[in-house]
Every structure is written in C-alpha cells, then in structure tokens.
Amino acid sequence: MFWEDRFRAVCDEVILCTDDGSAGMKGFVSDGVERAIAAHPDIDEVVAIGPLIMMKACAEATRPHRIHTTVSLNPIMVDGTGMCGGCRVKLGDTVKFACVDGPDFDGHLVDFEDLMVRLRRYANEEKVATERWSETCRMRTLAATAP
Amino acid sequence: MAKKRTIRTIPQQRTPAREQDPQIRRTNFEEVALGYDDAEALLESQRCLLCPEPGCIAGCPVGIDIPGFIARIGEGDVRGAYDVLARANLLPAVCGRVCPQENQCEGVCLVGESLEPVAIGRLERFVGDRAIAEGFARRPYIEPNRFRIGIVGSGPAGMACAADMARAGCAVTVFEAFHLPGGVLRYGIPDFRLPNRVIDAEIAALQRLGVVFECNTLVGRLFTIEQMIDELGFHAVFVGTGAGYPTMLGIPGDQLNGVLSANELLTRCNLMRARDFPNVDTPLPLGRRVAVVGAGNTAMDAMRVCLRLGAEQVTCVYRRSPAECPARAEEVHHAEQEGVEFHWLTAPVAVLGDFGGGVRGLRCQRMMLGEPDSSGRARPVPVPDSEHELDVDLVVFAIGTNANPIIGQTSGLALNKRGYIAVDDDLATSIAGVYAGGDIVTGAATVIEAMGAGRHAARSMKAYLGLSDPSALRVPGDPSASLFGLTPDQRNFVRLRVA
Ligand SMILES: Cc1cc2nc3c(=O)[nH]c(=O)nc-3n(C[C@H](O)[C@H](O)[C@H](O)COP(=O)(O)OP(=O)(O)OC[C@H]3O[C@@H](n4cnc5c(N)ncnc54)[C@H](O)[C@@H]3O)c2cc1C
Ligand code: SF4
Ligand code: FES
C-alpha cells in the first residue's frame, strides 16, 4: 500500500478496499461505496475512476440512491482529437466521442456492456504485439550482460 | 508561335497519363498515376488554345494564370511555368494530383466544348514535381520584422498562411496536434494518390522560409487561442484545424466492432503506418469483405486502401446515383479498374452483428431519385420491399464530417449554427487578431479552397499588422513572453503554466 498517508492527509475519511482484506476492508470498491452511502445519506456525488468493471459496479451501487456518479472512460483511442470516432461510447441513446466530449460521463447513462465489447476489439493483435515486444525487448539482453 | 492554334490544328486526343497496371497496383501502395515526362507535357501543352478570354482561370478557385503557365511549358521553360503557378498556388505538386479539375478549370476549358479539355491538372503536377526535384523554390530575400504569428493546424490552410506570413518577414510557428505535419494530406489521402515525399518536400520548403513546426501540440488543451495572444506573445493567430469530426450513421449496429469511420481506417493505415503491424504498434481492422458507405473522395480512398490490405471484395454503398457522386472522376475510375463493386442507389438500414460483437452483414434497401432537395440534388427515396443483405465483415462509414469541437469548447471564438468558426469577409474571427479558414470555416471542402483561404487570411493579417501599409504598422509588444528563444524545458514550463 503506498501513499495511504497522503490520502489521509487530504481526505476527511478514507475507505480502503482490498479483495482479500489484507488492508482496509475486505471487499470491492463498490462495497466501500455502499458503506459510505450507508454512513452518509447526504452524499451528492460519487466519482469512480479505474477499471471498467469497477466503475460499472459503482454506478450500479449509486443508481438506487440516485446519487450523481461520474466515471472516466478509457475506450481505445487513435488520435485523441475527435478526428476518428474510434473512441465513441454509447450514452443512453446518444453516441459521444470520449476524447473530446469526455472522458468523464454520467455513469448512469454509460452503456458499459458496449464499451467492454469495444475494448476487446484488438485483443488478438494486443497479444501479438506483446509477444513481439517481449521477443525484441532489449532489457533482457542488457540485464544478462550487465556487469 | 508560327501559326495560330485552332481547335482543328491542335492534337485532338488528350495525352494519356501512364499509370500502374490495375492488377499490380491493387497490391501495393505505390503511386497510381505516374505523371507526364517532358515530351508528354510538351505535347499536351500544345492542346491549349491560349485563349485571350479563357474559361479556365475563372474556374480555378485561386485564379491561376493557366494559359500563362502552359505557354511556358510549350517554350520549354518549366522554371518560368513554375513562377507563374507559384504566384497563385503554393502547392502545385499537391493540387495537380488532388484537385477536382473536372469541376474547376478543366470543366470550363474551351477546348472541352468539342474535344477532351486540356489536361491542366497533369500539367500542373508536371511543373510541381519538376520544381521539387530541381529545387526551383529558392528562398527569397526576407526582411525580418518583429511580428510573431501562431498557426493552429498544419493542413493546406495552415501551410499556405504560414508561407505568406514567413515571406512577409514574420516569425511563424505552426502548432500541429499530430506527430507529423500535413493535415488531411498526411493522415487522410493515401500514398498511392499523394506520396509522402511530396508532402515532406512542401514542409521542407516552409522550413527553409523559417517556419517552425511544433508537432504533438493540441491547442485548446495545452493552451488556448486567447493565451496565444495574451501570454505567448503572438501578434496574430490563424486557426486552420479542419473539419475532421466524422459523422456516424446512427443506424442499428453502428457501435459494433467492425464498424469504423474512414478517418479511423485511413489514419491507422497512413499516419500510424499500421500496415506494417506488428513492426509498428498500431493494429489495423482488416476485413475480408468490406462495405464502404458513401462515395466521396474519402470513400474512394478507404475502398482502395482495403483492397491493398488484402480484402477479397470491396463494395461501395451510396444512396444516390453516379451523377451525384462527389468524388473526383479519376478516383472513381481508378476504383472501378481496381475491382471495387458499386451499389448505387442503395442505402444501409442496419449493421448485423455476430455473437462476438463483430459484423456479419449490412442490411440495405434500394433507393430511387425523387424531387430535388435543398442542395439541388435529387432526394433519394426508398423503394418499397427492397431490403436485402450484403455479406460483409467490415463496414466503413465515409459519409461526411462535422466541425471539430475542441477550439470551440476551449476558446471564446464565435461559432456559427453548425459549429464552424464564424468569420467576416476578411476571415477575421470574433477575437481581434485571430483569423480562421479552410474546412473549420466552410465545412469539408477541397485542398485548393483551404489553401486559398490560408492566403486570404494572410493578406488580412498583414493589413491588421500594418505590413501592407507601413504607415499603419502596429508596434510589436514585448516578445519576452513568447515561446521563441526558450529551451524545450522552459517551453514545457510555459505550457504547463498556461494549460
Ligand atoms: C480521405 C480524404 C480525401 C480527400 N481527398 C481530396 C481530394 O482528392 N481533393 C481535394 O481537393 N480535397 C480532398 N479532401 C478534402 C481536403 O483534404 C480538405 O478539404 C483540406 O485538407 C482541408 O484543409 P485544412 O487545412 O482546412 O484542414 P486539414 O487538412 O484537416 O488540417 C487540419 C490540421 O489541424 C490539426 N488540428 C486540428 N485541431 C487541432 C488543435 N486543436 N491543435 C492543433 N492542431 C489541430 C489536425 O491534426 C490537422 O492536421 C479529402 C479529405 C479526406 C478526409
Ligand atoms: S480555357 Fe482551355 S484552351 Fe483556353 S486557355 Fe484555358 S486551358 Fe487553354
Ligand atoms: S480517439 Fe479519435 S475521435 Fe477520439
């Protein structure tokens, strides 16, 4: 765990969550969000940034309470200037380009299923590229020949 | 000239341009049209009647003295021809290749009334290529002044404005979002139509004039237009950021993997060199059977790129008829030769998905032409009971673009109803000293019009700064706040501070 002290220094309350309970509470981030909501009924906004599945769970946790929830999306981008539409995400009935219209959106409108499928677009190519990278990675030879 | 040329004495046939064989070229990215050699250019130049009242000049968006440059070719004076061309056109090697000549100069050439018009575009390209090869564009003597000009976007509009302001003695910096300059010429139009070396040569010519290119710089995010004037010490700014914000069709299935914009396909292939994957990191969405929706230049480029990447079948789906097709005639012809199948009067209704989020087909319906719409073109209306499916695994949308919103979102520049930057007759925007032109003002148009707009804005800027009338010279402000003369570290600091 790093920077816990820094978080504590600037937050009124910090709820740590770990999958195995090795630090903070045992549970997912969404469980932590539930706990916070239970303790503070007056929460106005939840901001969730991280893996898609976590942001989705947080949005689901806040939906019944109608707490505005901001999520930060990370679709595959090409140019990041609004020129290609590769980063488009579905928001209710509309389509937005995350790089110029986002990346922060209302988590209760985001179609997470759609985004998950889109994120897998190049799964095979990513594997090929990683393999190629490991084969050609010079760090290994450097490490092997290091004095 | 010995004898006056008449329509009966000139060579009756247009001099053919050599091309790569369609079967070979559909497997490579080498240039398709090979251009005239000296003898061919000379022969074609003799088809020009050198009309005292020519049609062609009026048909040219920047008013090139066309008979003037063609006459020089006829005299064997290619350098002289270049000088005539360069007075109006900064990018002859580019425009000779990509202008829609059939709607411009060649469309109104008087020879064209009874024979095929003079091949003005090919002659222009001949001169432009020769100028690059032999370095005709010598650096003129430039009397430097203390004005600093910031240009946003390095497409044809930005390049043209940069050239004219640099020639006027200003210190010009061009900010470009991508890692390479050139705009659509670089990321959109493929190598087989406009080779990178031509763009590189034009950029190098600008650098010789002293223009500095700052790539990887997204204006609006790193610093705003207002900050360029108020904090970075630019005395005038030109915005030429283009129109590239692709329209998606809004039909069921358009979110599927396997549906993408032509801009994405072309950017991956051209700018990001994805056809060398995995030697480069950007992957390409390959299709075995591809449908491209739309029939403009962008659609033609996307289809021909797909063929070259190995697609077995490429189909063009367009809801109007060939008569309304907005692409250059030569590109449609080349696409047909290379084996693209055209489905005219056909509109997509839905993209059909497979179970993995991919595409298994495109449902379409036939159309027929009805009454003219507001654009004057016949409005396509659906033929009842004409739905059918195309068996495809990749769908590319090339149905137009909107204004890129970044500059609008991040500055106080007034926009028009459609989101483009609002300008007056001098291309001045709502902020003093800030000018705009090209696709970001007009919506998607042409290279030559963007270039013309860049030059028009440069004239207005010179008047604003008092450069065209020295008695009205504005005294340049304190240049210490500028990006110039700073080390990269200091510059990054400035950027961070103003961002
Ligand atoms: C695939 C395709 C094929 C075409 N074929 C033809 C053709 O054959 N003939 C023809 O005449 N026209 C053609 N066109 C149209 C023509 O290319 C455009 O009209 C022309 O390039 C517009 O020039 P521009 O300078 O206004 O903008 P662009 O060429 O679009 O250049 C704008 C530049 O600004 C940069 N930019 C945008 N926002 C920012 C920012 N915030 N900060 C910094 N930089 C930014 C962009 O990255 C880009 O490089 C084609 C267009 C496409 C897409
Ligand atoms: S209209 Fe045609 S023939 Fe006449 S000057 Fe122009 S190019 Fe030559
Ligand atoms: S990444 Fe290309 S439009 Fe957003």
B439 lines ligand 1 (CB under 6 A): yes
Task: Give a yes or no: residue B329 inside a domain.
Answer: yes
* pLDDT value, residue A18: 92
Mutate to test the interface with B, among A83, A94, A125, A130 (most CBs of B within 10 A): A83
Query: Once rounded to an integer, what is the mean pLDDT over residues A56-81?
Result: 93
| β-strand partners of B279 | none
- pLDDT at position A146, please? 65
CA distance A125 to chain B (A): 6
For A81, the closest of B177, B250, B268 (CB atoms) is B177
Q: What is the pLDDT of residue B5?
A: 84
Q: pLDDT, tens digit, for every residue of A24-50?
A: 899 899 999 999 999 998 999 999 999
Report residue B57 CA to chain centroid gap: 21
Do B378 and B447 belong together in one domain?
Answer: no
Tell me, yes or no, whether A131 lies in a domain: no
The residue-averaged pLDDT of A91-101 equals 91
Question: Is A58 part of any domain?
Answer: yes
CATH of the domain at B126: 1.10.1060.10
Does a cis peptide bond (omega within 30 degrees of 0) precede residue A103? yes
**Token pair in block for residue A144:** 């092997």
pLDDT tens-place string over residues B208-238? 889 999 999 999 999 999 999 999 999 999 9
At residue A147, the pLDDT reads: 61
* pLDDT (average), residues A10-23: 91
Residue A54 maps to a domain: yes
Answer whether residue B141 is part of any domain.
Answer: no
Same domain, B27 and B46: yes
Tell me, using a 6 A CB cutoff, whether residue B302 lines ligand 1: no
Tell me which residue range forms the domain holding B94. Answer: 18-134
For A78, the closest of B218, B268, B277 (CB atoms) is B268
Q: Is the residue at B474 inside a domain?
A: no
- φ/ψ bin of B436: left (φ > 0), alpha (ψ from -120 to 50), beta (otherwise): beta
Beta strands in chain A (DSSP E): 17-18, 25-26, 45-48, 68-72, 88-91, 94-97, 104-106
Contact B245 A125 (CB under 8 A): no
Between chains, do A84 and B264 touch, taking CB under 8 Å as contact? yes
Task: Round the average pLDDT of chain B to a whole number and report it.
Answer: 88
Q: How far apart are CA B244 and CA B260, in angstroms?
A: 14
Residue-wise pLDDT for A71-80, tens only, equals 999 999 999 9
> Is the shortest distance between the CB of B177 and ligand 1 below 6 Å?
yes
- A130 vs A137 pLDDT, higher one: A130
Shortest alpha-carbon distance between residue A129 and chain B (Å)? 6
Tokens representing residue B115 in the block: 């024979």
Residues B384 and B312 in one domain: yes
Q: Which residue has the higher pLDDT, B485 or B156?
A: B156
Smallest CA-to-CA distance from B87 within B101, B104, B100, B72 is with B72
Measured between CA atoms, the residue of chain B closest to residue A88 is B255
Please write the tens of the pLDDT for every residue from B242-262: 988 898 888 999 889 999 999
Domain hosting A117: range is 44-122
Contact residues on chain B for A126, CB-CB shorter than 8 A:
283
Residues B393 and B407 reside in one and the same domain: no
Residues with CB under 6 A from ligand 2: B 48-51, 54-56, 66-67, 109-111, 118, 120
So what's the pLDDT on residue B377? 78
Q: How many domains is chain B built from?
A: 3
pLDDT band at B471 (very low <50, low <70, confident <90, very high): low
Query: Do B336 and B325 share a domain, yes or no?
Result: yes
Q: Would residue B314 count as lying in a domain?
A: yes
This complex has an ipTM of: 0.84
The three-state secondary structure class of B432 is coil
Question: Chain B residues with CB inside 8 Å of A115's CB?
Answer: none
Of ligand 3's listed atoms, the one at least distance from the Cα of B245 is 3
Instruction: Determine the distance separating the centroid of ligand 3 and the alpha carbon of B26, expressed in angstroms.
Output: 29
3-state secondary structure string across B351-410: EEECCCCCEEEEEEEEEEEEEECCCCCEEEEECCCCCEEECCCEEEECCCEECCCHHHHH
Structure tokens of B490?
Answer: 């200091």
Same domain, B234 and B317: no
* Inside any domain, residue A92: yes
Query: For B58-94, how does the pLDDT look when each residue is reduced to its tens digit (9 = 90+)?
Result: 999 888 999 999 999 999 999 999 999 988 888 899 9
Residues B100-116 have a mean pLDDT of: 91
Nearest CA to ligand 3 atom 2: A84
Residue B446: name the closest of B166, B85, B183 by CA. B183
Q: Are residues B182 and B73 in the same domain?
A: no
Distance from CA of residue B386 to its chain's centroid? 37
Q: Are residues B169 and B128 in the same domain?
A: no
**Is A56 part of any domain?**
yes
CB atoms within 10 A of CB B135: 10
| Residue B124, H or E segment | helix B120-134
Residue B10 lies in a domain: no
Q: Considering only CA atoms, which residue is closest to atom 10 of ligand 1?
A: B446
According to the model, what pLDDT value does residue B141 have?
81
Q: What is the pLDDT of residues B383-396, one digit of tens each?
A: 999 999 999 999 99
Kindly give the residue spans of alpha helices, DSSP state H, lying in A40-122. 52-62, 98-101, 112-119
A32 lies in a domain? no
Domain end (from B350, B368, B400)? B400
- Provide the pLDDT for residue B371: 86
Tally the domains of chain A. Answer: 1
B76: which 2 tokens? Answer: 């064997």
Could you give the CA distance from residue B422 to residue B435 in angstroms, rounded to a whole number?
Answer: 10
What are the tens digits of pLDDT across the range B279-300? 888 888 888 999 999 999 999 9
DSSP states of B133-153: HHT--PPPP----S-EEEEE-
Task: Show residues of chain B in contact with A75, CB under 8 Å.
Answer: none
How many whole angstroms separate alpha carbon B310 and alpha carbon B149? 45
**pLDDT average, residue stretch B192-205:** 92
Instruction: State both tokens at B131.
Output: 């100028």
Q: For residue B257, is it within any domain?
A: no
In chain B, % of residues over pLDDT 70: 93
Q: What is the mean pLDDT of residues A45-64?
A: 93
Tokens of B263: 């801009």
Closest ligand 2 atom to B120 CA: 7
Q: What percent of chain A has pLDDT over 70?
A: 92
Residues of A engaging B, defined by a Cβ cutoff of 8 Å: 78-86, 88, 90, 95, 97, 100-101, 114, 117-118, 120-122, 125-126, 128-129, 132
Determine, yes or no, domain membership for B218.
yes
Q: pLDDT (tens digit, 9 = 90+) per residue, B159-191?
A: 999 999 999 999 999 999 999 999 999 999 999
Q: Where residue A129 falls among pLDDT bands split at 50, 70, 90?
A: confident
Q: Is the CB of B403 under 6 A from ligand 1?
A: no
| Å from CA of B76 to ligand 2 middle | 18
Give the count of alpha carbons within 13 A of B325, CB side only.
26
Write the burial class of residue B478 (CB in 10 Å: 0-12 exposed, 13-18 middle, 19+ buried): exposed
CA distance A124 to A137: 20
* Residue B11 resides in a domain: no
Q: What CATH number does residue B279 fall under?
A: 3.50.50.60
pLDDT greater at residue B127 or residue B469: B127
Q: In the 8-state DSSP scheme, what is residue B69?
A: H
Is there a single domain that holds both residue B119 and residue B155?
Answer: no
Residue range B339-351: average pLDDT?
95
Q: Are residues B293 and B193 in the same domain?
A: no
From A80, A83, A86, residue closest to B260, measured CB to CB: A86
Nearest chain A residue (CA) to B398: A84
Average of pLDDT values for A119-147? 77
Residue A35 lies in a domain: no
Q: Residue B352: is its pLDDT beyond 90? A: yes
d(C-alpha A8, C-alpha A23), whole Å: 14
| B386 and B426 co-located in one domain | no
Kindly give the distance from the C-alpha atom of residue B297 to the centroid of ligand 1, in angstroms, as a whole number: 12
Specify if A135 maps to a domain: no
Residue B470 has pLDDT above 70, yes or no: no
Confidence of residue B265 (pLDDT cuts 50, 70, 90): very high
Are both B387 and B413 inside the same structural domain? Answer: no
Alpha-carbon distance B83 to B388, whole Å? 56
pLDDT for res B488: 47
